Structure 1
């Protein structure tokens, strides 16, 4: 165990766990390329990136439903499989880390903190992104949506990640852009931070999620005092 307890002033949290899509990674361009290949195969015009972007953190089913509104929200399993197959081919080709993420991760590392990833993205897809981002040896843990028996908003992935990295829950902060992230953190007894730069639907109200804090940009997290 880390044995350091909660952080002291001027230091970053000892362990930070991050959501991936919409938090560390601006993957919306990859997702748009995916749904537009699917739409083109059906003779449907491309979907603007800005129209798809708010749905990205909700997962493959939500993005498929947004791309094909005629389904009325009823997305068949074969369409989800098609989405994942096409997305695997577009993986990492168009998206990139959000501006300021690399500087923030480097600041954590320079302070001796460790970080990892807990995402609902299938683990094989998340791992496929790591080499191009240079994160495969830097991320202390990577938990995907299918790694364990439960996924967010269940607390198990966060609890498992903290334990795998050798930290008590009190040493950790979870950062995410979706309500499920904050619900999972609260259920785990872990401090939470809303990444306001991420993906949200128009009716989403992050203030109602009851996170410990909300931050507008990765650059703001270069200040240790911005962290809960």
Structure 2
């Protein structure tokens, strides 16, 4: 993990597995597809690590199908309907996230959300889990490209009126770190998230942290160091 350099003016976050633990409701949506077909529910322990990959991850784990496989589209559409109908039954912010966001705001920094989740889910979910005050929200269908393409992150920086290098991006998936790096942002891999099939140590993030409060401490160190240089 490298030491902090220039402090940011904004922190951008992935949503699922980074700010919010949405896996319980995502898992329930895909298991409803299975039970409707007379199949036993898939073990939650198998579904949880795939939550950051959305429908692709959940259907892959529950049915063994890929997006190009026959039957995937019908399952995806059913999954979307199930999820939209019960989007925030068990979803909640990770421990430490409210304190992290409060600390960011107290430091005079902006924060925003950049997710691959389609806006039809992002928009109703955020106010139900206490994230309605984000400075910007870029969903998976806001721009022409989704992560790992940098376009969504560049859009978020633009909406905040900042240059990309003035932002840090925090995520729990390899695609998050790839997108942040491609956008010219400092990247933070959150070890508290779902993390998927790839070991976070191999993502080449600028920082790998174990908890949201670790990120708050890193920000405070960066801001304090900047204040010392300016003194």
CA displacement 1:90-120 (0-9 Å, x = unmatched) = 2011110101100100000111111000000
SS in 2 for 1:183: helix
> What is the root-mean-square deviation of aligned Cα atoms in Å?
1.8
> In the alignment, does 2:163 pair up with 1:168?
yes
- Deviation at 1:222? 2.4
Structure 2 match to 1:10: none
- Quick one: distance in 1 between partners of 2:130 and 2:48? 24
Structure 1 match to 2:174: 179
CA displacement 1:28-60 (0-9 Å, x = unmatched) = 100111111111100111222211001011121
- Quick one: distance in 2 between partners of 1:164 and 1:206? 29
Structure 1 match to 2:119: 123
- Deviation at 1:161? 0.4
- Quick one: distance in 2 between partners of 1:165 and 1:45? 46
Structure 1 match to 2:201: 207
C-alpha contact 2:149 2:182 (8 A) present in aligned 1: yes
CA gap 1:225/1:110 in 2 versus in 1, 3 angstroms:
closer
- Quick one: distance in 2 between partners of 1:72 and 1:124? 22
- Deviation at 1:205? 1.6
- Quick one: distance in 2 between partners of 1:200 and 1:219? 18
TM (normalized to structure 2)?
A: 0.88
C-alpha contact 1:65 1:72 (8 A) present in aligned 2: yes
Q: Which runs of 5+ in 2 are unaligned?
A: 224-231
Q: Out of 79, 82, 87, which is 1:83 matched to?
A: 79
C-alpha contact 1:6 1:170 (8 A) present in aligned 2: no
Structure 2 match to 1:32: 27
Runs of 4+ in 1 over 6 A off after TM superposition: none
Q: Which runs of 5+ in 1 are unaligned?
A: 8-12
> In the alignment, does 2:190 pair up with 1:218?
no
CA gap 1:92/1:226 in 2 versus in 1, 3 angstroms:
farther
TM (normalized to structure 1)?
A: 0.89
